[in-house]
Each structure stands twice: as structure tokens, then as C-alpha cells.
Amino acid sequence: MVKIDGGRVRALRESKGLTQLYIATSVDVTTDTVSRWENKRYPTIKKENALKLAASLEVDLGELLDRDEAPEPDSPETPPEPPEPAATSMADDGPEQVTTPAATGAAPRPTRAIKTALIITALLLSGAALALFFMGRGQNRPLEISVRRIAPPHFVAGQPFPVFLKVDAPADEPRSIILKEAIPPGLHVVTALPPISGQDKKDNSIKWLTKVRGTTTFAYTLRSELSYQGTLHLDGFVKGPDNATAEITVDGDRQSTSGVHHWADSNRDNRISDEEILAVYDLAGSDQPIGIDMELIEDIWLGDGYVWQAQQQRFAVRE
């Protein structure tokens, strides 16, 4: 466990224009946790998380550590504190102190005028924050990134098939993105490349949090349940690290239907042509990174066609 300076975390995050969501995704915690770190409610955190936090803020861990372990002395403006409260509570990731009102009555009570001034100030600040929020929504910056999904038009239930996401970004400097894909019901992810940054069990989605420059291909392999029948729908988006950038929907192929043809046989003629095998290698590369049986695809290409043997759950190649 290490003790971090929440104020420093917030200042660094805001200076880089990053959202709490971006940091949360990067460290693989919830936005509530990030908020608690910044508000110093969880000053001590796991070293593993602290390292991820430093990486996402692009600083060394040392820059986030709270160097002053001792309690800070009261500033001259702070009124003398009441006697030390007795009540404390424990949060799930670290100690949290809750102070109770002084029971002695020795501390000066705020006057009605001060209370009124505080309420007015709070209302004004809230109004300003809301105005900034809505003004900001109307001025979303373009992300200058496009994403195209390439998915086979069909697949065989129970057999893995790949989905590719081609991200085109400006070549000048790396752009931080969150790329998210919803996994259709009845399917699960076999593998992904590059490895995903996180998987959300609630909405069954996967996401990458990374930097892109030029054209980058992301790929994942899906496998359905054996009993799957029908058409699956694919959906996803890409977003920048700050709230100012608009969310962009992933373009390209959006659905795929279960059947008896190999996913690489795009024209369903029970053969894999030169064009089809070149398309597979151009997209997937040749080092089998995403759990595709390239040897089988090559055998079908070199052979005289194939048939799907449902009983044996395999493709038989005609020689």
C-alpha cells in the first residue's frame, strides 16, 4: 500500500484534460474510487493501482506520493478545531474519518447572515458549473478518428471467428482513445489483440484504452454457444479521453448470421479462393495471434473445397 496525494492526482488529471472515467478504465477501478482517491477519502491505495494510476497520468509514481506523512498543521485562517471526535468509520479500500459535531457547544455557531451567504455562494457556483457543462456539450471537439469494423457475414455456431476494428487516426501524434465493443448475447470473447484493457460484465462489453497513431488494427475472436441460431448485431464506439470530444460510432459491418459456411468463405461457395485467403492474411497477419485456425484455412484453400460436419463439429476438406 502507498499513500497518494489526492489533490495532486486531481490537478494532474485536470491539467491533462482527462476524465475520471478514463483514469478509472485505465486503472480498472470504478469512477467512484477515483473520486475518493482525489477527495483524499482513500489516501492509501494498492501499489499496483498506484503504478497504473501514474502510468495513466504519464508521471512517475513518486510524483503522486504524499510525501508529508504527518498531519498538516492548521493554517492561520482555520479556526481552532473542536476536541478530537470519537466517531470513525472504515471504508472498503482504506480508512475514512468522519467527524461528529462538537458536543461541548464551545465552538462559535455560524450566524444566519453567514449561512445565507454560504447558500447563495453555493447556488451561484452550481449555476456556473451547470452553464459550463452545457456550453461544453455544445462545443465537442472532433476526435479526428474513424473506426471501421470488418466482421464475417456468417459464422458456424460453436466455432471461433474474428472481428477486426481498423482505427484510422492522424499520423502526426498519438491520440488517447477508449474503444468499446458490445458483445452480443450468447457469445463470448475467446481472445483479443492487443489485449483488452477491461471487460464490463454488466453490459457485456470489452474495451481498449490506448494510444493510436495512423492506422491500427484491433481484433477479437468470438465464439457462440453451440445452439446459437440467428443474426448477431455488433455495436461499439470510440471516444477521446476528455469530455470535450464527441463519441464516434464504429462504422462498417454490423451483423453476422449463423450458418454452415466457414467465416473466411465470404461468397459461401464452399471453397476458399485466392482473394479470400489473401483477405484473411491481410487482416489477421500470419502468426495466429487471435485464435484462428489458419492451418485449416490454408488446407481449404489448397484443397478442393470443404463441408461442415455438424455431428463431428468440424470442417472436412475435400482433397
Using CB under 8 A, pick the residue from 91, 302, 307, 310 that binds another protein: 302
- Exposure string over 225-259, b if 16+ CB within 10 A, otherwise e: eeebeeebebebbbbbbbbebeebebebeeebebe
Is 225 a binder of another protein (CB under 8 A)?
no
Is 282 a binder of another protein (CB under 8 A)?
yes
At a CB cut-off of 8 Å and minimum separation 6, what does 155 contact? 161, 222, 224, 256, 257, 258, 259, 263
The length of the chain in residues reads 319
How far apart (Å, rounded) are the C-alpha atoms in residues 258 and 79?
A: 71
Contacting range for another protein; rule: CB under 8 A; set: 183-191, 195-203, 252-260, 271-279: 271-279
Task: Identify the residue whose cell numbers are 441460431.
Answer: 229
Contacting range for another protein; rule: CB under 8 A; set: 50-58, 59-67, 176-184, 274-282: 274-282
Residue 107 DSSP code: S
Q: How far is the CB of 186 from another protein (least distance, A)?
A: 30
Cis peptide before 194 (omega within 30 of 0): yes
Is 296 a binder of another protein (CB under 8 A)?
no
Is 133 a binder of another protein (CB under 8 A)?
no
Residue (of 248, 262, 256, 240) closest to 318 by Cα position:
262
Using CB under 8 A, pick the residue from 285, 293, 296, 308 that binds another protein: 285
> Do 44 and 94 touch, CB atoms closer than 8 A?
yes
Residue (of 264, 263, 288) closest to 193 by Cα position:
288
Is 267 a binder of another protein (CB under 8 A)?
no
Is 28 a binder of another protein (CB under 8 A)?
no
Is 168 a binder of another protein (CB under 8 A)?
no
Q: How far is the CB of 205 from another protein (least distance, A)?
A: 28
Contacting range for another protein; rule: CB under 8 A; set: 6-14, 141-149, 259-267, 269-277: 269-277
> Do 82 and 107 touch, CB atoms closer than 8 A?
yes
Q: How far is the CB of 275 from another protein (least distance, A)?
A: 5
Q: How far is the CB of 164 from another protein (least distance, A)?
A: 12
The residues that touch another protein, with contacts defined as CB under 8 A, are: 274-275, 277-279, 281-282, 285-286, 298, 301-302
